[in-house]
């Protein structure tokens, strides 16, 4: 049997599939470490923003945390899930677009609901109680 046949059947020494790497297969140690370092950085920054009360406006802090969360999702998809427009004929990318759309709708809806709950459930001050009692 030739070396190519051994590689195809998995009986040879070299069972390395170079096609899997070009089509979004396993990553290298360097790519995994890059993804890990980026994930840690994108986790530490929001923690620091909240615990250090760095930004005075809570809305800005929330938007920054949501943006960093979105960037972290992209890092995970690229470095750990190895998704690209070329993998599986683009269908995984279409599923990713659909998932991102759903996540954006959920996050925006959650922030909207929390804002309105906070606004509508705030206790009334003494002046408003006196005006409403009449």
The domain segmentation of the chain, as residue ranges, is: 27-81
Which of 24, 15, 42 has the alpha carbon at shortest distance from 78?
A: 24
- Residue 90 has which token pair? 């683009």
Rounded to the nearest 5 degrees, what angle is found at the Cα of 28, between the Cα atoms of 79 and 5? 120
pTM listed for this prediction:
0.55
Give me the tens of pLDDT residue by residue for the chain, a chain 134 residues long. Answer: 555 554 555 554 444 444 444 444 577 899 999 999 999 999 999 999 999 999 989 999 999 999 999 899 889 988 988 887 777 777 888 888 898 899 889 999 998 998 888 777 766 666 666 666 66
Q: Are 41 and 32 in contact (CB under 8 A)?
A: no
E-assigned strand segments in the chain: none
């Amino acid at each position: 049997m030739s070396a190519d046949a051994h590689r195809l059947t998995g009986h040879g020494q070299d069972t390395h599939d170079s096609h899997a790497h070009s089509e979004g297969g396993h990553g290298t140690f360097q790519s995994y470490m890059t993804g890990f370092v980026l994930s840690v950085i994108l986790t530490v920054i929001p923690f620091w923003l909240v615990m250090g009360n760095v930004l005075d406006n809570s809305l800005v802090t929330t938007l920054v945390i949501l943006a960093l969360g979105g960037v972290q999702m992209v890092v995970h998809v690229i470095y750990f899930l190895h998704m690209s427009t070329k993998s599986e004929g683009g269908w995984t990318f279409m599923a990713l677009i659909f998932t991102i759309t759903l996540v954006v709708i959920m996050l925006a809806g959650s922030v909207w609901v929390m804002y309105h709950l906070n606004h509508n459930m705030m206790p009334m001050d003494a002046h408003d109680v006196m005006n409403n009692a009449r």
